[in-house]
C-alpha cells in the first residue's frame, strides 16, 4: 500500500511540474506576442537586412568619330510594395484610381484601369511586398512612373520599387560584333569587351536590402549606401563607314561564291590603326560574324608569301632589280619525287623577275630560293623571315591571336624534308594569320617600318570627352629591310596590277593599287592540282600605291562557285572596298579647275566634260570650273565642242516628234527631255549617257528608251 501511495505521489509531482511549465511557456508567449511584439519585430527586421552589391554602368565602346558601337542601357523591373509601413489605407484609396489610369496609359495599355485596380487591391489584401507590375521598362518611362500618384510619395510611403538592370545594346547591329566581342564570367573573353573588361565594368556599389517573406529581397532605402563607379568608355580605331563598306563587299562576295567563310582587314599604313575588321562565316544559309579568322586562324597563305621570299633574296644580295633573269622551266619542275607546276600551263623557260612575280610563277620563285638557300643554307632563309617579323605575333590587344608557324631549318621536330624549302617559298608548309600577313605588307607600304596593328586609341571618362589615357602608334621594327630592297618589292607589287600581272583586272584609272594574289590549295598533297581539293583565295596589298594610305587583306575560304583564283574572288572585294574608300579621300582628288588646261590638255580631257545639256546648267558648270568657253545660242539645249583652246556652246536642235540624241548628257537632263516627249526611260549604270537603245531621229511612239551610263 505504501508503494502504491509513493508512486501516485510521484505521478502527481511530475504532472504538476508539466502543468507549471506549460503555464510558464504560455505566459512567456503572451509576453513576447503582446507586450514585446514591437521589440521582436524590430530585431527580426534587423537580422533580415543585408548589404548587397550594385553593379556599375558598363562603359561604352565608341569610334573615333563618336559613333557608339556598344553601350549599356538601363532597364527596370517595375514593382510595388503594397504592404510598406507608410502606405496607409487612406493614401492607398485616395490615389488608387489615378495610379491605375497612369499605369494603363504609360506602362501597359493592354491592362485596363479597372484590371489594374483589381490587381492592386488584391495585392494589398495579400500584403504582397514585391508585386511585379512590368518587366523591362526604359529609363525615361521609369522616371515618369516615379511621378505617378501614390508613387510620387517615395519608396517607404508610395511603395514604388525599381529593380535596375542593364542590357548591352549594339546600335550598329552585327557590325564588327566579333571585334567588339563579349565578356562572360564562365567563358573565354573575346574582343574589346573581353580585353578591356576591367576598364569597362567599373566598380560595384553597395545597397541595403531587406529580405521579405518568400525569400525575395527589396531595397530598404531609395539610395545606395556606396554609389557604384561607372566604367570608362573605350574609343576604338574602327571607322564605322569603312567597316560597313568592308562588311558589305565581303558579304556579297561570300554569297556570290558560296564560300565557307572570309575576312577582310583594313589598316592605316602610317599608324597601324585598324580601320575595319570583318569576319563572316556561313551558318544556317547566311553569313554572320563568328570566329575572328583575321587573328585566330593561321593558314597556309599560298602565293601572297612569295613577296617575303623575293625580299629575302634581295636582302641577301642574290637579286638586285626587277630585270634580273629567272628560269621558269616552262612551268614544271621536280623537287625530289614531287613535281611543282605553275597555275597555268605555258612554254616560257626564262624571263625577268618582274614577269615571273607578276605572273606568280611557282617554279620561278621556288627555283630562286632553292638555288641560293638549298645547299644547307635554309637557316639563312628562315633568319630573313624572322627579320621581317613573320615568325612573331603582332601583339594586337584583343585576345585570340595565334602565333605563326614557320619551321626551323632541318628540324626533325618540325618535320623538315627535302621538299620543305621549295614549297615554303611559295607559301606552303607554314601557317600565318591574315593580320600577321597584312602587318608585313603594311611595313612594305610604309617604306620598311613595321607598325603594330592596334584597335584602341583612347580611354575616356564615362559619357564624357575627358581623355584618361591615349594609345599612340607603336613601331615594331624600324626597318624590316633596306630601302633599296623595299623599293624593288613595291615595284613588283605594282606590276602585279599594272603590268599585266595576275591582278590586272583590279587596275584603276583613278589611283594605283599594289598587291599580290594568292590561291592556296587546301587538303593538298604537294600541289597535285586535283579537282577535289578546296581553295583559299586571297589578295593583300595597299593603295594608293604611289602614296600608300591604307593596306588591306581579303581572304575568302572554300569558294564553291564562280571561280576560286585570288584575282577573281578576293581581288574584286579588295578593289571594291578600295574604290569606295578612295571616293571618300577628298584630299586625294584633284579638282579639274585647279589646273587650267592648255589646248592639248583640253582636247585630252574633253571626254570628261559635259558634252550636252541644259544651257544654263552647262554654262554655270564651265564657269565654276574656270574653263574658257564661248556661247552663241538661241535654244535651251546646247552641245559643246572644242575649238582651239576653248570650248564653244552651240544650239542643240530638238525635234518634238523624233527621239533626241542624249549621248553626253547627265541623267537628269536626258530623263527630263525624253519623258517630256512621252518616252519611258530605263537606266543602266551611272555617270553620263554613253549609249541609248533607240537611235536619235527615230519617230516617237511612246517607246521605252534604255540609257547606258558610264
- The residue among 315 and 2 whose pLDDT is bigger is 315
Question: Is 82 within 8 Å of 123 (Cβ atoms)?
Answer: yes
Written as nine digits, the cell of 688 is 553620263
Average pLDDT over residues 179-200: 89
* CB within 8 Å of 367: residues ≥ 6 apart: 326, 327, 329, 333, 422
User: Quick check: 456 pLDDT over 90?
Assistant: yes
Mean pLDDT of the 687-691 span: 80
8 Å CB contact between 268 and 242: no
pLDDT value at position 256?
A: 96
pLDDT of residue 527: 46
Query: Which residues does 352 contact at the CB level (< 8 Å), separation at least 6?
Result: 322, 323, 324, 325, 326
Q: How confident is the model at residue 222 (pLDDT cuts 50, 70, 90)?
A: low
Highest mean pLDDT: which range of 147-161, 370-384, 515-529, 630-644: 370-384
pLDDT at 147: 94
Question: How far is CA 669 from its chain centroid?
Answer: 40
Confidence of residue 41 (pLDDT cuts 50, 70, 90): low
Q: From CA 542, how far away is CA 465, in angstroms rounded?
A: 33
Q: What is the mean pLDDT of residues 200-205?
A: 86
pLDDT tens digit sequence for 91-132: 999 999 999 999 999 999 999 999 999 999 999 998 898 899
**Greater confidence, 224 or 71?**
71
Architecture per CATH, 52-235: Alpha-Beta Complex (3.90)
Listed in sequence order, the DSSP H helices in 60-166 are: 89-102, 113-125, 139-145, 155-158
Helix ranges, 280-338 (H) = 293-296, 306-315
Would you say 400 and 280 are in contact if contact means Cβ atoms under 8 Å apart? no
Contact 83, 127 (CB under 8 A): yes
* Architecture in CATH for domain 244-586: 3-Layer(aba) Sandwich (3.40)
Report the SS3 class of residue 663: coil
For residue 352, is pLDDT > 70? yes
- Three-class SS state of 418: coil
Please give the DSSP secondary-structure letter assigned to residue 190: B
Comparing 156-165, 525-534, 579-588, the range with the smallest average pLDDT is 525-534
Residue 308 phi, psi dihedral angles, 5° rounding? -65, -40
pLDDT at 247: 96
Check residues 609 and 621 and name the one with the higher pLDDT. 621
Catalogue the E-assigned strands of 286-415: 286-289, 325-327, 332-335, 338-341, 350-352, 405-406
Q: Which three cell numbers stand for residue 177?
A: 560584333
**Residue 607: pLDDT band with limits 50, 70, 90:** very low
- 5 falls in which pLDDT band (50, 70, 90)? low
Give the separation between CA 654 and CA 672, rounded to whole angstroms. 13
Spatial contact of 99 and 148, defined as CB atoms under 8 Å apart = yes
What lies within 8 Å, CB to CB, of 314 at 6+ separation is: 320, 481, 484, 485, 488, 489
Average pLDDT of the residues of the chain: 87
Length of the chain in terms of residues written: 710
Whether pLDDT at 603 is above 50:
no
- Displacement of CA 514 from its chain's centroid (Å): 24
Non-local (6+) Cβ contacts of 69 within 8 A are 61, 62, 63, 170, 171, 172, 175, 176, 180, 236, 238, 240
The band of 504, judged by pLDDT with boundaries at 50, 70 and 90, is very high
Give the start-end residues of each E strand in 504-619: 514-522, 534-543, 550-557, 612-614
Q: How far apart are CA 193 and CA 200, in angstroms?
A: 7
CB half-sphere exposure, 677, CA atoms < 13 A: 25
pLDDT at 539: 98
Q: Which is more confidently placed, 623 or 45?
A: 623
Summarised one tens digit per residue, pLDDT across range 511-546 is: 999 999 999 988 655 444 444 568 999 999 999 999
Spatial separation of the C-alpha atoms in residues 469 and 27, rounded to whole Å:
70
Band the pLDDT of 351: cuts 50, 70, 90. Answer: very high
Mean pLDDT lowest for which of 81-95, 99-113, 592-606, 665-679? 592-606
More confident residue, 40 or 203: 203
Q: Of 553, 540, 396, give the one whose Cα is nearest residue 474.
A: 396
Q: Could you report the per-residue pLDDT of 628-665, keeping only the tens digit for each?
A: 777 777 777 777 776 656 677 777 788 888 888 888 88
Please compute Rg for the chain using Cα positions. 39
Task: Take residue 679 and report the three cell numbers written for it.
Answer: 518616252
Q: Is 338 left (phi over 0), alpha (psi -120 to 50) or beta?
A: beta
Amino acid at each position: 500500500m505504501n508503494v502504491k501511495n509513493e508512486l501516485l505521489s510521484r505521478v502527481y509531482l511530475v504532472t504538476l511540474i508539466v502543468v507549471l511549465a506549460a503555464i510558464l511557456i504560455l505566459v512567456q508567449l503572451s509576453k513576447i506576442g503582446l507586450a514585446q511584439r514591437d521589440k521582436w519585430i524590430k530585431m527580426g527586421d534587423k537580422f533580415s537586412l543585408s548589404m548587397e552589391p550594385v553593379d556599375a554602368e558598363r562603359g561604352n565602346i565608341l569610334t573615333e568619330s563618336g559613333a557608339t558601337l556598344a553601350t549599356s542601357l538601363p532597364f527596370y523591373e517595375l514593382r510595388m510594395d503594397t504592404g510598406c509601413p507608410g502606405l496607409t489605407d487612406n493614401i492607398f484609396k485616395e490615389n488608387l484610381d489615378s495610379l491605375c489610369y497612369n499605369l494603363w496609359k504609360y506602362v501597359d495599355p493592354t491592362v485596363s484601369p479597372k484590371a489594374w485596380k483589381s490587381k492592386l487591391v488584391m495585392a494589398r489584401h495579400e500584403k504582397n511586398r514585391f508585386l511585379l507590375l512590368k518587366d523591362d521598362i526604359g529609363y525615361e518611362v521609369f522616371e515618369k512612373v516615379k511621378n505617378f500618384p501614390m508613387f510620387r510619395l517615395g519608396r517607404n510611403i508610395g511603395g514604388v520599387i525599381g529593380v535596375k538592370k542593364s542590357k548591352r545594346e549594339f546600335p550598329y547591329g552585327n557590325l564588327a560584333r566579333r571585334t567588339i566581342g563579349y565578356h562572360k564570367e564562365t567563358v573565354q573573353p573575346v574582343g574589346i569587351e573581353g580585353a578591356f573588361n576591367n576598364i569597362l565594368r567599373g566598380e560595384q556599389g553597395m545597397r541595403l536590402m531587406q529580405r521579405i517573406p518568400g525569400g525575395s529581397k527589396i531595397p530598404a532605402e531609395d539610395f545606395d549606401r556606396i554609389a557604384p563607379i561607372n566604367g570608362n568608355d573605350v574609343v576604338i580605331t574602327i571607322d564605322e563607314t569603312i567597316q560597313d563598306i568592308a562588311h558589305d563587299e565581303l558579304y556579297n562576295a561570300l554569297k556570290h561564291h558560296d564560300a565557307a567563310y572570309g575576312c577582310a582587314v583594313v589598316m592605316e599604313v602610317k599608324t597601324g590603326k585598324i580601320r575595319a575588321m570583318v569576319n563572316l562565316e556561313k551558318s544556317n544559309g547566311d553569313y554572320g560574324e563568328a570566329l575572328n579568322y583575321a587573328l585566330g586562324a593561321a593558314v597556309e597563305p599560298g602565293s601572297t608569301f612569295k613577296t617575303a621570299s623575293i625580299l629575302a633574296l634581295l636582302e641577301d644580295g642574290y637579286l638586285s632589280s626587277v630585270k634580273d633573269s629567272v628560269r621558269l622551266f616552262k612551268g614544271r619542275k621536280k623537287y625530289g619525287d614531287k613535281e611543282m607546276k605553275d597555275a597555268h600551263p605555258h612554254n616560257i623557260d626564262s624571263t625577268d623577275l618582274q614577269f615571273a612575280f607578276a605572273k606568280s610563277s611557282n617554279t620561278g620563285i621556288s627555283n630562286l630560293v632553292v638555288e641560293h638557300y638549298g645547299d644547307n643554307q635554309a637557316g639563312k632563309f628562315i633568319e630573313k623571315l624572322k627579320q621581317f617579323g613573320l615568325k612573331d605575333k603582332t601583339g594586337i590587344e584583343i585576345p585570340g591571336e595565334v602565333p605563326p608557324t614557320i619551321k626551323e631549318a632541318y628540324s626533325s621536330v618540325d618535320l623538315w624534308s627535302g621538299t620543305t624549302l621549295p614549297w615554303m617559298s611559295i607559301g606552303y608548309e607554314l601557317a600565318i594569320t591574315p593580320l600577321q600577313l597584312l602587318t608585313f605588307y603594311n611595313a612594305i607600304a610604309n617604306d620598311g617600318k613595321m607598325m603594330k596593328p592596334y584597335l584602341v586609341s583612347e580611354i575616356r571618362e564615362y559619357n564624357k570627352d575627358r581623355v584618361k589615357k591615349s594609345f599612340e602608334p607603336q613601331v615594331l621594327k624600324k626597318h624590316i629591310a633596306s630601302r633599296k630592297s623595299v623599293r624593288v618589292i613595291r615595284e613588283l607589287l605594282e606590276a602585279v596590277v599594272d603590268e599585266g600581272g595576275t591582278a590586272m583586272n583590279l587596275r584603276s584609272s583613278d589611283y594605283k593599287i599594289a598587291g599580290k594574289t594568292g590561291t592556296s590549295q587546301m587538303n593538298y598533297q604537294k600541289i597535285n592540282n586535283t579537282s577535289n581539293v578546296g581553295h583559299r583565295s586571297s589578295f593583300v596589298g595597299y593603295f594608293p600605291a604611289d602614296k600608300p594610305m591604307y593596306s588591306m587583306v581579303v581572304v575568302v575560304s572554300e569558294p564553291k562557285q564562280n571561280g576560286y583564283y585570288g584575282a577573281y574572288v578576293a581581288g574584286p572585294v579588295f578593289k571594291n572596298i578600295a574604290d569606295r574608300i578612295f571616293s571618300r579621300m577628298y584630299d586625294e582628288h584633284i579638282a579639274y579647275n585647279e589646273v587650267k588646261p592648255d589646248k592639248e590638255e583640253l582636247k585630252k580631257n574633253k571626254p570628261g566634260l559635259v558634252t550636252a545639256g541644259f544651257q544654263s546648267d552647262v554654262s554655270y558648270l564651265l564657269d565654276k570650273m574656270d574653263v574658257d568657253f564661248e556661247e552663241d545660242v538661241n535654244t535651251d539645249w546646247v552641245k559643246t565642242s572644242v575649238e582651239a583652246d576653248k570650248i564653244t556652246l552651240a544650239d542643240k536642235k530638238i525635234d518634238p516628234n523624233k527621239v533626241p540624241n542624249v549621248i553626253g548628257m547627265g541623267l537628269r537632263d536626258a530623263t527630263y527631255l525624253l519623258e517630256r516627249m512621252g518616252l519611258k526611260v530605263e537606266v543602266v549604270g551611272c555617270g553620263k549617257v554613253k549609249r541609248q537603245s533607240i537611235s536619235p531621229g527615230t519617230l516617237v511612239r511612246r517607246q521605252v528608251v534604255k540609257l547606258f551610263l558610264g
